[in-house]
A and B are shown apart, each in its own frame.
Chain A
Amino acid sequence: GEDVEQSLFLSVREGDSSVINCTYTDSSSTYLYWYKQEPGAGLQLLTYIFSNMDMKQDQRLTVLLNKKDKHLSLRIADTQTGDSAIYFCADGAGANNLFFGTGTRLTVIP
Chain B
Amino acid sequence: EAGVVQSPRYKIIEKKQPVAFWCNPISGHNTLYWYLQNLGQGPELLIRYENEEAVDDSQLPKDRFSAERLKGVDSTLKIQPAELGDSAVYLCASSLDASGNTGELFFGEGSRLTVL
* Interface positions of A (Cβ within 8 A of B): 4, 8, 31, 33, 40-45, 48, 88, 90, 92, 94-96, 98, 100-103
In the complex, chain B residues 73-116 whose Cβ is within 8 Å of any chain A Cβ: 91, 93, 95, 98, 100-110
Minimum CB distance partner of A43 in chain B:
B107
How many Å from the CB of B57 to the closest CB on chain A? Answer: 13
Give the total number of A-B pairs whose CB atoms are below 8 A apart. 62
State whether A88 and B103 are in contact (beta carbons under 8 Å apart), knowing that A42-B4, A43-B91, A96-B56 are contacts in the complex.
no
Interface 9-residue window, one of B14-22, B40-48, B64-72: B40-48
**Chain B residues, Cβ within 8 Å of A101:** 42
Is the beta-carbon distance between A96 and B48 smaller than 8 angstroms? yes
How many Å from the CB of B79 to the closest CB on chain A? Answer: 20
Is the beta-carbon distance between A42 and B103 smaller than 8 angstroms? no
- Given A31-B102, A40-B109, A44-B107, 12 more pairs with CB closer than 8 A: A4-B42, A42-B91, A42-B108, A43-B91, A43-B105, A88-B43, A94-B101, A95-B95, A95-B98, A100-B42, A101-B42, A102-B42
A94 to B98, CA, bound (A): 8
Contact of A102 among B40, B100, B107 (CB under 8 A): B40
A41, A43, A48, A94, most chain B CB atoms within 10 A: A43
**Chain B residues, Cβ within 8 Å of A8:** 40
* Interface positions of B (Cβ within 8 A of A): 4, 31, 40-45, 48, 56, 91, 93, 95, 98, 100-110
Is the beta-carbon distance between A45 and B109 smaller than 8 angstroms? no
**Chain B residues, Cβ within 8 Å of A92:** 103
How many Å from the CB of B9 to the closest CB on chain A? Answer: 9
List 25 interface pairs A-B (beta carbons < 8 Å), by A numbering. A31-B103, A33-B103, A41-B109, A42-B93, A42-B110, A43-B105, A43-B107, A45-B103, A45-B105, A48-B103, A90-B42, A90-B103, A94-B100, A94-B102, A95-B103, A95-B104, A96-B48, A96-B56, A96-B98, A98-B45, A100-B43, A101-B42, A102-B40, A102-B42, A103-B41
